[in-house]
Amino acid sequence: MKKIAILTSGGDAPGMNAHIRAASRAALSKGLEVVGVIGGYSGLIEGDFIKLGRKETANIIGRGGTILKTSRSKEFFMPGGRAAAAERVREAGIEGIIACGGDGTFHGAHAFWLENKIPIVGTPGTIDNDLYGTHYTIGYDTAINTAAEAIDRIRDTADSHGRVFIVEVMGRHAGFIAMDVGIACGAEYIAIPETITNLDILYQRILKQGKTRRTIIIVGEGDEHGGAAKISELIKEHYEIDAKFTILGHIQRGGSPTVRDRVLASHLGVAAVEALLNGKTDVMIGRQGHEIVYTPLEETWTRQKAIWSYMIELSEILA
């Protein structure tokens, strides 16, 4: 293998630039030529490639977002789009690909390998931390710290005015962000997709705060009731509780990555290059503890990554 490509796809995550830097420099140290794909799978179809050398990856380790940009390519999820991408890849002499992203990215990578047999490995870049096969994903640590800082600020207002605040965090299918920041910020109730939200219990916990009712409630966006706005509406309708709601949204994706995310991204970037050189393909490069592990791409979405039961128990005890 003499030439590889690196791309970022789907939602951006803090630490992607650290990953690009590490993977490209690891490849250069092995004598490989490295190109970056601009715009994820859309760039792969269009053949939008740039050289990645030491100069191009200097001073990006602390930057949020991704210098390679990203997209959600509908064309790549069609066989014709993947065939066009394979043609561009072969024309450029690319012999292996590192795709950093979430489950949508891995669906595309898996199909690309099955149809075109161009070696490709995935690295977990998503703030949701919802991929089976790795304890943590690139961007997750930064996202929970960003959310916690915002919630601490909201708590100041909740305390000053004696109000109930419902804060919605990201996580369409997984409650990892909500659970961690809920415990870290002293939430009285944490609503996540993995559990049933009991509004009567939520109401009882608001009452326990006394007349001031200063309360922080954390809601994952995938909660079965439909998020913070809907829960605010329901407790007003059923319990006559006025609650302010805040949706943190994409603020959780941006900003300079934490040290933990920079180190994880760097470790996985180097390991991805080594995996390609060792003949690995159609796998996600993850880390469990301090060990690098390889998980078949299909398993990363077909096997559910469960919330640790002790975290649920802990949140109940502390509430």
Closest CA relative to residue 215, chosen from 226, 200, 204: 204
DSSP state of 78: S
Q: If you write DSSP's letter for every residue of 16-42 in order, what string do you get?
A: HHHHHHHHHHHHHHTT-EEEEETTHHH
Residue spans of alpha helices (H) in the chain: 16-29, 40-46, 79-91, 103-116, 140-161, 176-184, 199-207, 228-239, 259-277, 297-302, 309-318
Please give the Cα distance from 291 to 276 (Å, whole number). 17
Q: Which two tokens stand for residue 193?
A: 């997709």
Please give the Cα distance from 150 to 71 (Å, whole number). 27
CB 267 within 8 A of CB 162: no
Residue spans of alpha helices (H) in 134-244: 140-161, 176-184, 199-207, 228-239
Parallel/antiparallel/unpaired status of strands 189-191 and 215-220: parallel
Contacts of 88 (CB under 8 A, 6+ apart): 44, 45, 46, 47
CB 306 within 8 A of CB 132: no
Q: Which two tokens stand for residue 223?
A: 């909660």
CB 71 within 8 A of CB 12: no
Catalytic positions, written as ranges: 128
